[in-house]
Amino acid sequence: MEAFSEMCHNLLVDVQQRLIFRAHVYIKSQILDYAPSPGDLAYPEKLEMMEVIISLVPIMSNVICFFFLCLIAVLGILGAADLRLKASTLSSRYLHNHQLSQ
């Protein structure tokens, strides 16, 4: 039990070191060395674009709902077909093996 405890402690220390390293790399590359692009500074245009997107949300949500309903129906049909195929494959294997054993 002591060996398991020591292994868990070493694993925890390793995970902590990796998290600290990744956080340091992220902070350095994404925050300290950040250089804004022209798109980052285009704020009036971005806000206007967000207003247009928000006005389209009801229309898009209906399209997305319809898409997901169709997707769910197709997945259900494919799942049922897969179950039937597996059942027929298993039964044919059983019959084949049963005939070989006789």
Are both 98 and 63 inside the same structural domain? yes
Residue 100 domain-assigned (yes or no): yes
In tens, the pLDDT along 45-87 reads 888 888 887 787 777 677 777 888 888 888 888 888 888 877 7
**Would 47 be classed as within a structural domain?**
no
64 shares its domain with 100: yes
Residue 46 domain-assigned (yes or no): no
Flag whether 18 is in a domain. yes
**Half-sphere exposure (CA, 13 Å, Cβ side) for 59?**
5
Which domain does 19 fall in, by range? 1-36
> What pTM was computed for the model?
0.38
Q: Based on the domain organization, do 63 and 95 belong to the same domain?
A: yes
Residues 32 and 67 in one domain: no
As a dihedral over the C-alpha atoms of residue 68, residue 73, residue 78, residue 82, rounded to 10 degrees, the angle is 120
Count of structural domains within the chain: 2
pLDDT in tens, 7-31: 999 999 999 999 999 999 999 988 8
